[in-house]
Amino acid sequence: MAEKRWLAAYVKMHHEKKVRDRLTVMGVENFLPVQEEIRQWSDRKKKVERVLIPMMIFVRVDTREQRSVITHPSILYYLTLRGEHTPTEIPADQMERFRFMLDHSDTTVNFSANDLQPGEKVRVIKGPLTGLEGELITMEGKSRIIIRIEQLGCAEVEISPTMVEKV
């Protein structure tokens, strides 16, 4: 049996949650980075799921599943680096750190395709993100920890410098 690997698939605009639900029914391991947030309307507040990376879902598949996933009508294509013909594999350790950050952060996580400047390698030693390793950077005067996903960009969350140690 072929080894499973993480791939990023582009989906039609606003179809991310439908694709996630359909892949789950199909038995395909997937990850849609979402975060709950409170939205304010003029007459009410509502808790909604915000998709962190629009038009993208991550799937962990072998070659047979890879072919069946792409047949879904809402999935457009897999992320492929320029000059290559096969889908780009997302390293499992980067995916695990990204998932950990989303699951345990008590503040908003942002995702940026901008290539942030590399910072100092750190490990979180306090709070809900304890154990997470990433890079410490300063943006707009605030300290943030980022998890770099090489092919896509960086996930970042605000953190106090007192909660991290150098690796």
Tokens read off for 147: 């998890």
Q: What is the mean pLDDT of residues 145-151?
A: 85
Q: What is the mean pLDDT of residues 83-90?
A: 91
Provide the pLDDT for residue 118: 65
53 and 85 co-located in one domain: yes
Q: Are 149 and 121 in contact (CB under 8 A)?
A: no
97 and 52 co-located in one domain: no
Q: Which of 63, 90, 117 is the last residue of a domain?
A: 90
Provide the pLDDT for residue 51: 94
Question: Which whole-number Å values give the CA distances from 59 to 27, 63, 71, in the listed order?
Answer: 11, 12, 14
Residue 37 has pLDDT above 90, yes or no: no
102 and 83 co-located in one domain: no
Tokens read off for 137: 């950077």
Token pair 């943006």 in the structure block, residue: 139
Tokens read off for 138: 């300063």
Q: What is the mean pLDDT of residues 102-109?
A: 88
38 and 83 co-located in one domain: yes
Tokens read off for 70: 């792409």
Residue 82 has pLDDT above 90, yes or no: no
Q: What is the mean pLDDT of residues 89-95?
A: 94
Q: What is the mean pLDDT of residues 148-166?
A: 86
Residue 1 has pLDDT above 60, yes or no: no
Total domains in the chain come to 2
Backbone angle region of 163, left / alpha / beta, with phi > 0 → left and psi within -120 to 50 → alpha: alpha
